Chain A
C-alpha cells in the first residue's frame, strides 16, 4: 500500500521540473566534489611516490660521498609521509593545513618537526569543496528548500483542502511525498560517493559508515523540517516564514555554535606557544658549544646510560658529542613540546564535545575521522615521524660511539620510514 503511494508520488514529482532540476544540480555538485577529491588524492599519492624515489637516489648519492658516520647522518635526509586513506577523497579534512609530508635528518627533532610544507594559504582559506562539505553544510539547505513547503506550498496553491479531503489517510500522503524527495536527494548525493569508493576500493565497513552518517544527517533535517513546517503552518505562517526560521536553525548549527565554541575553547584551553618550544630547543642546542662537555653528557646519559663509558673525545669536536647535544636539546624541550601537543589534543577533545551541539560539525568530524584526515590522524603521523627519528638515533649511536672505520655497507641496515596508519 505504501509502495503504491510512493510510486504515485514518484510519478507526480518526476514531472515537477523544479524538483528534477534541483536534484540534478545536487548530483552534479556531489559528482564534482568526488571527482576533485579523487584527483587530489591521486596527486598526493603521486607526489609521495616521486618524493620517495628522489629521496632514495639522493640519499645514496650523499652517503657515497661521506667519510665518516657523523657526516653521513648530518647530510642525509629522510622523507616521511602520510598517505591519503582510501576515503580521503570524500573528506579532505585538515590535510591542507596539517602537513602530510616532511623531510627530517638526525639533528634535534624539535627544530625540524614544525616546518610546514603547507598548501597555498589563499586556497585553504576558501576551503575545499569535498563530499563532507556538501553533506555537513549544504545538505540542510537542500532539505529546507525542498521540504519546507511540503504542506504550506499546497495550501498556498489552493490544493491543500482538496488533497486532504481526497487522501484516505492524509499523513500517508505527506509521508510518501517526503520519502520520495528524501530518497531522491540521498541518491543524488550518495551515488557519486559510492562510485568514488569503488574506484579507490575503500573498505566496505567504512564506506557503509560514511553512507549512514550522510543518511542520519539527512534524516535529522528532514524530521526537523517536516515538523517545523507542520507546526508553523498550524500557526498560520507562510512558506518563506517557515524556511526563514529553518535557515535560522541552520545558521545556529553551522555558524554560531562552531564559532562561539571555537572562541571559548581558544580562551579556556591554553598551552605553550609554538615559538617557545623552538626557542627553548635552540638555546639548549646552541648553548652546548659554550658549556663544558660534561653538561651535554650528563643530560645525554640520563636517557642513554649504555654509552657512559664511551664519552671520551680525541679533539674538541667529535660527532658523538655533536649528536649528544642534539639529543640533549630535544630532551630540554620535551616537556614543552609535549604540553604543546597536549594542548592541541585537549582542544580537539573539547571540539568533539562542542560538535554534539552542532549536527553539521558532528557530521564533518565523524567523516574526517573515518577518512583519517582529522587532527588525531595528523598527530598520529607526527608521532610516526618522532618514532622514526628515534629509530635513526638508535641506528647511528653505536656507529658513532664505538668508533671504527667508515664502511658504507654498515649503512645498509638504516631504518626506513614506514607509515603505521592503516586504512
Chain B
C-alpha cells in the first residue's frame, strides 16, 4: 500500500515540477467551475421565467369574461416546460426541444421556441454545459496530464530500476492510476457540488448519488485508458499519438457517427407527413362543429331512443355539446395513436444511437447522464404526453359545460343578433376547470431503472480497461 502511495505522490511531485500538468488541471477545474456557475444561473433564469409565464397563462385563462364555452376551447392554453433540477449540469436535449406549447381543441400542436433556435448558432459542437466539459474535455485533460506516466519512467530507465529492486508492476501501475484518477476527481468536484445543490432543490438523494457515481466511474475509465495507452507504448511520442487518436474517435467521432447512422437507418417521416394520414382518418370521424354531420347519425338515434324523444331539441342536454364531447374523444384517440407512433419512432432512432455506447464510453456516459438527470428524449415525450392530458381534460370539461350548462335553443340561435350572442354564454366560473401544469421529470425510480443498461455499458468499459491493463502489465518489462 505504501508503495502505491509513494508512486502516486512521486507522480504528483513530477507534475508540480514540470508545471504543464498543473496548468492543465487548473484549466480543467476553472472550466468545470465556470460552466457550472454560468449554467446554473442560466437554468435558474429560464426556470423563473417559465414558471412566471405559466402562472400568467393560467391567470389569463381564469380571467376570461363570460363566453360561449366553445370559444374557450379555441382560446386555448399555453404550457411551459420548466427545467429539471439536474439540468444545471446536464441540459441534455432541453436546448433542442421546444419550451412552450399551445393547447387547443381539435388538434395537437408541436412544442415551439427551442433555445437552439434563438441562440447564436455557435454552440453546435461545444457547449458550456458541465456535462460537455466532463464528458469530452476532461478525458482530453487526463491524456495531456498522464500520457507519459509510464513511458517517461521507461525512457529514463527508472522503471527498470524499480522493478529490479522488487517493486511489483501492479503497485506501480496502481500508483499511477490513482494519481491520474485523483486529478480527474479534482475536475469533478464542481459537478459534485452542483449535484448537492440540485439535491437541495428537490432532486432525490438516490438520483444525485448515482449521477455523481456515474461520472466517477467515467473518470476512472478514462484514467485507465490513459494508463493503458502509456503502458503499452515504448515511447511518450507513441503513447501521446495513440491516446489523442483514441480520444478523437471515442469522444468526437463515435457520437456523431451514432446519430448520423441512426438517422440514415431509421428515417422518420416527421409530423407534417403523418398529419396527412391523421387528417384522412379524422375526416371519416366527421367535424364536431357540425352536429348534423352524417357521422353523428348513430349517436343521435341512440340518444333519441334512450330519452324517448323525436327531436334533438327535446333532449335534456345540449346535443351540440354531446357531439363535441364525442368527437373530441374520437379525434384524440386518433391523434394519440399517431403521436405515440411518432414517439416510438424517435425512441427507436435514439436506441440505435445509444447502442454506440458499447463502442464509446462517452456515449454511454452521456445517455446515462441524461437519463438520470431527466433531460433525455423520454422526458421530452413525457412533457408532450402530460401537456396532451391537460389539453384533453380542459377541452372535455368545457365541452361538458357546453352540454349541460348551455341551452340548445340559445346555442343554435347565437348568431341571430347581438342579444342572442350574449345569451349564448356561460359564466366565467366555468374556466376554473383548467388544472395547473407543473412539469416534473420522470420519477426517480423510473429514471434509475431505465438507466441500468447504460450503467452496465459503463461498467463493462471499466471491466474491459481492467483486463487490458492487466494484460499490458505482463509485458511491461
- Chain A residues with CB under 8 Å of chain B are 29, 32, 36, 39-40, 43, 47, 50-51, 54-55, 58, 79, 94, 97-98, 101-103, 111, 114-129, 133, 136-138, 141, 145, 149, 153, 156, 238-241, 243-244, 247, 251, 254-255, 258-259, 261-263, 265-266, 273-275, 278-279, 282-283, 286, 289-290, 315-317, 343-344, 347-348, 350-351, 354-355, 360-361, 364, 374-375
Contacts and interface: CB of A to CB of B under 8 A. Distances in A.
Contacts of B446: none
Contact of A275 (B113, B123, B263, B279): B113
Contacts, number: 242
Q: Say whether chain B's binding surface is mostly helix, strand, loop, or mixed.
A: helix
A350 B122 CA distance: 10
Given A279-B56, A316-B414, 5 more contacts: A102-B272, A118-B110, A126-B255, A289-B67, A374-B121
Contact of A124 (B96, B119, B261): B96
B244 A243 contact: yes
Nearest to A290: B65
Contacts of B241: 145
A292 B253 CA distance: 62
Contact of A118 (B96, B120, B252, B255): B96
A118 B244 CA distance: 35
A129 B253 contact: yes
B202 interface: no
B93 A121 contact: yes
Contacts of A102: 272
Given A123-B353, A279-B57, A138 B118 contact: no
A141 B244 contact: yes
B264 A94 contact: no
B421 interface: yes
Nearest to B257: A129
Contact of B127 (A124, A247, A259, A265): A259
Interface in B10-30: 20, 24
A370 to B, nearest CB: 15
Given A111-B102, A122-B377, A47 B353 contact: no
Contacts of A275: 53, 78, 80, 100, 113
B264 A40 contact: yes
B349 A120 contact: yes
A244 B20 contact: yes
A115 B108 CA distance: 11
B236 A278 contact: no
B144 A355 contact: no
B111 A127 contact: no
Interface in B42-72: 42, 49, 53, 56-57, 60, 65, 67, 71
B104 to A, nearest CB: 9
A266 B119 CA distance: 7
Interface in B228-268: 235-237, 240-241, 244-245, 248, 252-253, 255-264, 267-268
A217 to B, nearest CB: 15
B269 interface: yes
A238 B239 CA distance: 13
B417 interface: yes
25 contacts: A29-B253, A102-B272, A116-B114, A117-B110, A118-B98, A123-B353, A125-B95, A126-B259, A127-B255, A133-B125, A133-B256, A240-B148, A251-B140, A258-B125, A259-B123, A263-B128, A266-B42, A273-B49, A274-B118, A278-B78, A279-B78, A282-B102, A317-B415, A351-B121, A374-B121
A97 B120 contact: no
A251 B78 contact: no
A122 B272 contact: no
A262 B119 contact: yes
Given A51-B272, A121-B380, A126-B259, A315 B415 contact: yes
A317 to B, nearest CB: 4
A138 B38 contact: no
Nearest to B380: A121
A51 B274 CA distance: 10
Contact of B252 (A128, A137, A262, A265): A137
B308 interface: no
Q: From A125, A149, A374, name the one whose CB has the most chain B CB atoms within 10 angstroms.
A: A125
Contacts of A101: 270, 272
Q: From B76, B147, B270, B275, name the one whose CB has the most chain A CB atoms within 10 angstroms.
A: B270
B330 to A, nearest CB: 18
B236 A355 contact: no
Contacts of A47: 269-270, 273
Given A262-B119, A279-B78, A120 B350 contact: yes
B260 A258 contact: no
Nearest to A123: B259
A120 B263 contact: yes
B270 A94 contact: no
Contacts of A116: 98, 110-112, 114, 117
Interface in B398-442: 414-418, 420-421
A355 B122 contact: yes
Contacts of B114: 97, 116, 118, 121
A351 B122 contact: yes
Contact of A239 (B113, B237, B257, B416): B237
A378 to B, nearest CB: 9
Interface string B110-148: 111110111111111111100000000100100010011
B121 A375 contact: yes
Contacts of A278: 78, 100, 102, 112
Nearest to B102: A278
B144 A244 contact: yes
B187 to A, nearest CB: 14
Contacts of B255: 126-127
A62 B244 CA distance: 60
The 6 closest A-B pairs by CB, nearest first: A274-B113, A126-B259, A129-B256, A351-B120, A121-B96, A121-B93
A240 B237 contact: yes
A128 B112 contact: no
A195 to B, nearest CB: 18
A251 B258 contact: no
A60 B279 CA distance: 14
